[in-house]
Structure 1
Amino acid sequence: MTNSPGIPDSNPESTGTDAPGAETFQTLAEPRSANRLELTGGVWHQISPKYVRVQLISNGSFLVLVIAATLVLTLLMHQWWAWIPGGILTVILVWILAILPRQARSIGYQLRQDDLVFRRGILWQRFVAVPYGRMQLIDITHGPLDRGFGIAQLKFVTAAAATGVVIPGLEQSMAETLRDHLVEVAESRRTGL
């Protein structure tokens, strides 16, 4: 497999950086259990730490809204039952905000000879291998916050809905370069089917 400029190769001797000057996490967070899922060989490429900032802003804003709504309902409208759902949502959102940085460091992808392997999760690990020849659609999406921080998410769609993969938090330029590279490789693999 030939590589385009800025595209990481599947060579184990590769440095592991996505592109010159690309800002990504440097270590992949792994579960501590001896029974964890492992994929040896190859280089894992990670997402940008900007993804954590975007998620913190997004989830933090929602947390502020939940707290404000709870306070308005209880203090101004005397609806004391609002403490129960408001408290439950607040605890859940605080927990999400607390584990978000480690969760983001567990997201990675690996370009191999015949497929792209995506992994995420610490408690609930997920490994998905998407064969290049089976990719039907490669889509880049970014919302207003993503654009403001210069990141995007790359989505792969195959005929099987269960193998759809979304890689969040890629630098915008890397997402575009990776998309172009994957389209090129997928086209060459489909012609051989």
Structure 2
Amino acid sequence: MRPGDDAAIHGSHLGDDAVLDASTFDHIREPRSAARLPLGDGTWHQIARAYVWVRIISTAVSLLVVTAIVLALWLLLHQTWVWIPGGILIVILAWTIIITPRQARSIGYQLRHDDLVFRRGILWQRMVAVPYGRMQLVDITHGPLDRGFGIAQLKLVTAAANSGVVIPGVTQLAAEQLRDTLIDVAETRRTGL
């Protein structure tokens, strides 16, 4: 690590944890199993609480559409077989709505000296470290529902096709701050290679 790199990561842009932690969950939820992926040391930042509402609304709309199609085929065309695939989809979508708050509390990211660590999952756990010097693109995406709730997705792309990370449900202000800071830090790390 070169002199000044630490200041670039924890300096004026990223040192403002109030922006990164505004409207987020209080603590990251982790599995209780002894075989879990440990969180380690450092400050973990959570996603915005509004992400839960965006996921619930979008899943509920899908649930209503599937239910309407199943009912229309059953009532108008007397197709009773439609309840088998339709019922399976309805159960899956309802279960998704129920577990969304728990899933959202397990998502977090940590900014370390050399990389960004992303973590998600309770049952199926995933932890990915993205080195700052390997980042090629930092992308912010948000749809109409995301914009309405003031959140976005931050996508980090590296040279390896399957190593990209998408951090969902980051507040718009935090996403912009992270994008600018990660690009600055990635540039300083690339020139040192």
Alignment TM-score, normalising by the size of structure 1? 0.93
Aligned runs of 1:33-52 on 2, under 5 Å?
33-52=33-52
Matched AA of 2:96: I
- In the alignment of these two chains, the number of paired residues is 186
Tell me the residue number matched to 2:166: 166
Tell me the residue number matched to 2:84: 84
Matched AA of 2:42: G
1:6 & 1:133 partners in 2: Cα distance?
Answer: 18
Deviation at 1:18, TM superposition (A): 4.4
Tell me the residue number matched to 2:117: 117
Deviation at 1:50, TM superposition (A): 0.3
User: Which protein has greater RCO, CA pairs closer than 8 Å, 6+ apart?
Assistant: 2
Aligned runs of 1:1-193 on 2, under 5 Å?
1-2=6-7, 3-5=10-12, 7-8=14-15, 17-19=17-19, 22-193=22-193
Kept in 1, the 8 Å contact 2:21–2:46? The answer is no
Deviation at 1:20, TM superposition (A): 7.7
Alignment TM-score, normalising by the size of structure 2? 0.93
Consecutive unaligned residues of structure 1, counting only runs of 5 or more, are 10-16
Kept in 1, the 8 Å contact 2:24–2:49? The answer is yes
Kept in 2, the 8 Å contact 1:51–1:168? The answer is yes
Kept in 2, the 8 Å contact 1:6–1:18? The answer is no
The SS at the match of 1:113 is coil
2:20 & 2:167 partners in 1: Cα distance?
Answer: 20
The SS at the match of 1:156 is strand
* Structure 1 or 2: more helix by fraction: 2
2:185 & 2:47 partners in 1: Cα distance?
Answer: 22
For the aligned residue pairs, the C-alpha RMSD in angstroms reads 1.4
2:20 & 2:66 partners in 1: Cα distance?
Answer: 41
Matched AA of 1:53: W
Deviation at 1:39, TM superposition (A): 3.0
Determine what percentage of the aligned residue pairs are the same residue.
66
2:18 & 2:63 partners in 1: Cα distance?
Answer: 33
Q: Deviations over 1:5-64 (max 9, x none)?
A: 35248xxxxxxx442871100011111111101031101100001000000000000000
Kept in 2, the 8 Å contact 1:103–1:122? The answer is yes
Deviation at 1:77, TM superposition (A): 1.1
Consecutive unaligned residues of structure 2, counting only runs of 5 or more, are 1-5
Deviation at 1:136, TM superposition (A): 0.3
The SS at the match of 2:34 is coil
